[in-house]
């Protein structure tokens, strides 16, 4: 039997086999499958399961259909040419007449969609036919943003924003910064549309649309778009059970289904999509290629201070600035917030933040933000802090006057570091240990590691600090570089370390035998795919599967656990030290002693 979960032609294979299997709703069958092994001279065997999950709505370019949803799951692994592994899943949506409208293989992911379906016979399960959309030939010839004699060239930027022959963009400083402060600006555009050269201008904060109806969708499409989106999430989102959010999701679907009935604008509809994503609690999901403005998020403000969890169940100042910088020094212990125990207060807010949902993948990520951007509220809100100064507890009223956007990623880093590229720094510490700080995994990471080791060949071990690492990407060259790091190796992580930063922590543990210090990472590391709304108003970036830890558990939601949990020690922070770096240095020193000849 040929497996439709393989290549080269899953559509043809599935068309034959799924008709032959003829599963009915709720039915499950298991099969023994034989596939070409890696030698090319024989076959390898493994077991698979095929389930009929019932009729589900599915939207494809050919229209919206009620189709039979079949799921093919690999139960055992085999050493075949396609490296079959237990847990591989492929979903099929099949009409009652056997026509396959969609195949989604989750591994890559790999997707096949029915583009067109013309038939004189009735098309079974058809709910909405495909609506042909006019695609224009559009090119921006010249675009300038500014006022008076201060203008910025934005031609390339606008050409990059064209989607399907249409451009929708807000004239604002987000395009290219502010070319002239305090003056109302204008966006002037010369463009070629379907062979005609035209000009257009819009004032700052207005929206440029080329052609005029770009981004305009009929209100009737909002409901069908939402139905398709919710059905897509129901069928393919892989983390409902891992995150324990099925109940929340069902409630959110009911609420959104009511709201969409009165939806009056594209922006309002995209806001409903973002509400759904917030419920899914996924740091990689987002709305992309929107042909309308996304709704603005309500601004939140916090005092100009960041906290960290500290030893002995305390809260310590990580950094303060503005009018608080002279009073709340790094290392100061916060004892109370509005009269409540500070640690209990922030932990309760962290739990509430996760319960409310958001663009975060784990409770530990939600918790980090409640410490790093604490006490968020409306601009001007007041809070009372109690803190220890000179051994005495004092009170201080603070104001929410800083917009809650950026957050400190690190504290008390070593001085005098050498920078490589955009995201890599290194030095040698006073005790002889080498130290690397990796802000992002990018083209500077591998050459930075190589340069650091070459610069300090006498280093008595290496510390790789991944706190606040924003992810990125890497290949085999970096894995080989990590494997070649001189031992011993210590790694520092926290919930600011996300995505590719998390897999680097995993790989350093596996390839370099690293011991890991700090706190659990963000738990946001997935493969992604793009799913378009049927109307074309936007696309959604979906997570398809988690990357995996060395113990076989998903990184998504769980994160990477440290070998040694480290919280900040206020007394060390006040001395300009980083507690996690101190613990890593202590480990390297012990390993050094073990390695000395006796």
Is the pLDDT confidence value at 1 over 50?
no
CA of residue 219 relative to chain centroid, distance? 30
pLDDT computed for residue 2 by the predictor: 43
In angstroms, the first-to-last Cα distance of the chain is 64
Query: Residue range 463-481: average pLDDT?
Result: 96
Backbone angles phi, psi at 458, to 5 degrees: -95, 5
Q: Which two tokens stand for residue 211?
A: 């052609």
Report the alpha-carbon distance of residue 493 to residue 472 in Å, rounded.
Answer: 16
How many CB atoms within 10 Å of residue 548? Answer: 16
Q: Which stretches does DSSP call E strand in 296-405? A: 301-302, 305-310, 314-320, 333-337, 340-341, 382-389, 392-399, 402-403
Nearest to 339 by CA among 391, 399, 398, 384: 384
Nearest to 172 by CA among 214, 212, 206, 149: 206
How many CB atoms within 10 Å of residue 89? Answer: 18
Query: Residue range 366-377: average pLDDT?
Result: 97
Query: Which region among 82-86, 90-94, 400-404, 553-557 has the lowest average model confidence (pLDDT)?
Result: 82-86
Query: Which region among 11-15, 51-55, 204-208, 385-389 has the lowest average model confidence (pLDDT)?
Result: 11-15
Strands 489-493 and 515-518: parallel
Query: Residue range 155-179: average pLDDT?
Result: 84
Query: Which region among 172-186, 407-421, 446-460 has the lowest average model confidence (pLDDT)?
Result: 172-186
User: Mind listing the pLDDT tens digit for each residue in 515-541?
Assistant: 999 999 999 999 999 999 888 889 999
pTM for this prediction: 0.75
pLDDT computed for residue 316 by the predictor: 98
* DSSP tally for the chain: helices H, then strands E: 13, 31
pLDDT computed for residue 450 by the predictor: 98
Report the alpha-carbon distance of residue 404 to residue 52 in Å, rounded.
Answer: 47
| CATH topology assigned to domain 301-403 | Pdz3 Domain (2.30.42)
Q: What is the largest CA-CA distance in the chain?
A: 88
Query: Residue range 53-64: average pLDDT?
Result: 84
Query: Which region among 61-65, 66-70, 185-189, 220-224 has the lowest average model confidence (pLDDT)?
Result: 220-224
Is the pLDDT confidence value at 266 over 50?
yes
Confidence of residue 8 (pLDDT cuts 50, 70, 90): very low
Is the pLDDT confidence value at 349 over 50?
yes
Nearest to 70 by CA among 148, 110, 14: 14
Domain covering 418-523+559-595 in this structure, CATH number: 3.90.226.10
pLDDT computed for residue 217 by the predictor: 55
Answer with the residue of higher pLDDT: 231 or 314. 314
3-state SS, 277-304, equals HHHHCCCCCEEECCCCCCCCCCCCEECC
> Is 8 exposed, middle or buried, given 0-12, 13-18 or 19+ CB atoms closer than 10 A?
exposed
The three-state secondary structure class of 171 is coil
How many residues make up the chain in this entry?
598
Report the alpha-carbon distance of residue 229 to residue 530 in Å, rounded.
Answer: 12
Q: Which two tokens stand for residue 258?
A: 């009511």
pLDDT computed for residue 132 by the predictor: 53
CB 387 within 8 A of CB 412: no
Confidence of residue 90 (pLDDT cuts 50, 70, 90): confident
CA of residue 3 relative to chain centroid, distance? 32
Report the alpha-carbon distance of residue 211 to residue 60 in Å, rounded.
Answer: 25
Report the alpha-carbon distance of residue 120 to residue 124 in Å, rounded.
Answer: 12
pLDDT computed for residue 404 by the predictor: 92
Greatest mean pLDDT range, 31-40, 190-199, 214-223: 190-199
pLDDT computed for residue 474 by the predictor: 95
List, in sequence order, every residue forming a beta bridge with 491; answer none if it has no partner: 464, 516
Sign of CA dihedral 77, 83, 87, 92: negative
Query: Residue range 162-181: average pLDDT?
Result: 82
Query: Residue range 242-265: average pLDDT?
Result: 94
The residue assigned the tokens 């926290």 is: 494
Average pLDDT, the chain: 90
Query: Residue range 69-86: average pLDDT?
Result: 77
Rg (CA), the chain: 28
Is the pLDDT confidence value at 571 over 70?
yes
User: Mind listing the pLDDT tens digit for each residue in 295-327?
Assistant: 988 999 999 999 999 999 999 999 999 999 999
Is the pLDDT confidence value at 407 over 50?
yes
Instruction: Give percent of the chain above pLDDT 70.
Output: 94
| Residue extents of the structural domains in the chain | 10-129, 138-210, 219-288, 301-403, 418-523+559-595
pLDDT computed for residue 21 by the predictor: 80
Report the alpha-carbon distance of residue 420 to residue 445 in Å, rounded.
Answer: 8
Query: Residue range 106-129: average pLDDT?
Result: 78
SS3 content of the chain, % helix, strand, coil (to 5): 25, 35, 40
The residue assigned the tokens 């784990």 is: 362
Report the alpha-carbon distance of residue 100 to residue 92 in Å, rounded.
Answer: 7
CB 239 within 8 A of CB 527: no
Sign of CA dihedral 287, 288, 290, 294: positive
Confidence of residue 507 (pLDDT cuts 50, 70, 90): very high
Confidence of residue 11 (pLDDT cuts 50, 70, 90): low
Question: Which of 526-543 are b and which e, b meaning 16 or more Cβ less than 10 Å from the residue's Cβ?
Answer: bbebebbbbbbbbbbbbb
Is the pLDDT confidence value at 131 over 50?
yes
pLDDT computed for residue 465 by the predictor: 98
Indicate the helix (H) or strand (E) that contains 226: helix 219-236
Instruction: Give percent of the chain above pLDDT 90.
Output: 62
How many CB atoms within 10 Å of residue 307? Answer: 27
pLDDT computed for residue 219 by the predictor: 56
Report the alpha-carbon distance of residue 469 to residue 486 in Å, rounded.
Answer: 22
């Amino acid at each position: 039997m040929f497996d439709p979960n393989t290549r080269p032609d899953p559509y043809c294979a599935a068309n034959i086999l799924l008709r032959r299997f003829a599963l009915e709703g709720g039915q499950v069958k298991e099969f023994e499958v034989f596939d070409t092994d890696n030698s090319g001279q024989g076959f390898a065997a493994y077991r698979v399961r095929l389930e009929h999950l019932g009729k589900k709505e599915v939207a494809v370019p050919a229209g919206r259909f009620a189709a039979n949803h079949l799921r093919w799951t690999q139960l055992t692994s085999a050493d075949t040419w396609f490296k079959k592994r237990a847990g591989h899943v492929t979903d099929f949506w099949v009409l009652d007449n056997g026509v396959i409208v969609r195949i989604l293989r989750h591994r890559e992911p790999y997707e096949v969609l029915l583009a067109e379906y013309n038939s004189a016979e009735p098309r079974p399960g058809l709910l909405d036919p495909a609506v042909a959309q006019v695609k224009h030939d559009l090119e921006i010839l010249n675009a300038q943003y500014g006022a008076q004699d201060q203008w910025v060239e934005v031609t390339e930027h606008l050409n990059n924003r064209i989607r399907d022959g249409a451009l929708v963009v807000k004239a604002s400083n987000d395009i290219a910064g502010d070319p002239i402060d305090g003056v109302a600006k204008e966006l002037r555009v010369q463009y070629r549309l379907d062979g005609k050269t035209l000009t257009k201008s819009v004032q700052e904060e207005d929206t440029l649309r080329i052609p005029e109806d770009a981004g305009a969708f009929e209100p009737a499409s909002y409901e069908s778009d939402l139905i398709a989106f919710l059905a897509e999430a129901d069928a393919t989102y892989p983390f409902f059970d891992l995150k324990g959010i099925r109940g929340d999701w069902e409630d959110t679907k009911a609420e959104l289904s009511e709201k969409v009935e009165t939806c009056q604008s594209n922006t309002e509809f995209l806001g409903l999509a973002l509400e759904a994503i917030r419920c899914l609690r996924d740091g990689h999901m987002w709305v992309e290629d929107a042909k309308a403005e996304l709704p603005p998020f309500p601004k939140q403000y916090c005092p100009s201070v960041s906290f960290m969890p500290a030893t002995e169940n305390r809260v310590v100042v990580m950094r303060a600035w503005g009018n608080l910088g002279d009073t709340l020094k790094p290392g100061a212990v916060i004892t109370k917030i509005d009269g409540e125990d500070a640690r209990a207060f922030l932990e309760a807010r962290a739990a509430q933040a996760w319960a409310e949902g958001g663009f975060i993948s784990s409770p530990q990520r939600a918790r980090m933000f409640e410490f790093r951007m604490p006490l968020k509220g409306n601009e001007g809100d007041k809070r009372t802090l109690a803190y220890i100064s000179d051994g005495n507890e004092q009170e201080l009223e603070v104001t929410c006057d800083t917009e809650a956007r950026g957050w400190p990623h690190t504290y008390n880093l070593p001085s005098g570091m050498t920078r490589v590229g955009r995201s890599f720094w290194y030095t040698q510490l006073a005790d002889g240990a080498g130290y690397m700080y990796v802000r992002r995994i990018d083209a500077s990471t591998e050459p930075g590691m190589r340069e650091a080791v070459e610069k300090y060949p006498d280093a008595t071990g290496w510390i790789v600090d991944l706190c606040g690492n924003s992810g990125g990407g890497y290949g085999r060259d970096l894995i080989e570089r990590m494997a070649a790091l001189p031992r011993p190796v210590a790694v520092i992580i926290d919930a600011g370390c996300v995505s590719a930063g998390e897999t680097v922590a995993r790989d350093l543990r596996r390839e370099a035998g690293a011991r890991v210090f700090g706190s659990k990472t963000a738990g946001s590391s997935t493969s992604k795919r793009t799913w378009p709304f049927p109307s074309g108003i936007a696309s959604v970036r979906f997570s398809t599967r988690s990357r995996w830890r060395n113990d076989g558990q998903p990184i998504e939601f769980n994160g990477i656990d440290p070998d040694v949990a480290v919280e900040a020690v206020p007394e060390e922070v006040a001395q300009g030290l980083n507690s996690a770096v101190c613990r890593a240095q202590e480990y390297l020193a012990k390993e050094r002693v073990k390695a000395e000849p006796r």
